[in-house]
Amino acid sequence: MNKVEICGVNTAKLPILNSEKKTELLKRVKAGDKEAKDEFIEGNLRLVLSVIQRFSGRGEHVDDLFQVGCVGLIKAMENFDLTLGVQFSTYAVPMIIGEIRRYLRDNNAIRVSRSLRDTAYRALKTKEELTNKTGQEPTAADIAKEMGLETEEVVFALNAIADPVSLFEPVYHDGEDAAYIVDQVKDSKNSDENWIQEIALRQAMENLSEREKHILQLRFYRGRTQMEVAEEIGISQAQVSRLEKSALMHMRKWM
């Protein structure tokens, strides 16, 4: 997920738009300005990058996730209502996440190795033979003994070919939007709200000076005291305190 160039886009050189510029471009987009649309999309690609990091480790190619995320970004841009009085990112992130979830649901495939499948099919055949021979269903231990394998190997192989219940399995459908299993599972640590807040914090920090960023990193991400920060960067504790308060004030205003 640490690629610099994704889909031909150099992500290290993506522009950053401030709130005023975003609003200006959105107004031009609503008026049908194609150049404004292209500029707005390019200026918000960092938002897509932030979201797709959430879906790392699923075996999906980062370029595919990026393209799907861009579709969600475009939909958010086209449907965003300037009169809502909220940050564009607050509206766009759930749209991008939803687009990626749909992609993962529609392209979900669990890959099982050939050797594991072979073991599972042999276990099923052995199970059938033992059932016919003894007149009762054998246990995993019985099957493993007959095959000359460890019980854990047989259990693992049979579980690997079992039909899984997808988190994106619909449990309710009212004719329009379906409710999926994933919607019924609570995850307070990785909720969309927390993810949106984290993105907002990152964007707010981008508006600070390098010294202010460094101080906040040391103070709130590494747990240093103001005195420790002062010693590390070579200024007084009072200066650290002033810079910290100023940085937090600017972030609050931005958010």
What would the pLDDT profile of 104-147 be if each residue is shown by its tens digit?
766 655 566 778 878 888 999 999 999 988 888 899 899 999 99
Tens of pLDDT, residue by residue over 67-81, are 999 999 999 999 888
Question: Phi and psi for 203 in degrees, rounded to 5?
Answer: -65, -40
Whole-model pTM: value is: 0.44
Per DSSP, what are the bridge partners of residue 10? 5
Q: Minimal CA–CA distance to 167: which of 190, 189, 191, 185? A: 185
Torsion 253-85-42-95 (CA) sign: positive
Which residues contact residue 248 at a Cβ distance below 8 angstroms, ignoring those fewer than 6 apart? 216
Domains of the chain from N-terminus onward = 5-106 (1.20.120.1810), 114-161 (1.10.10.10), 207-254 (1.10.10)
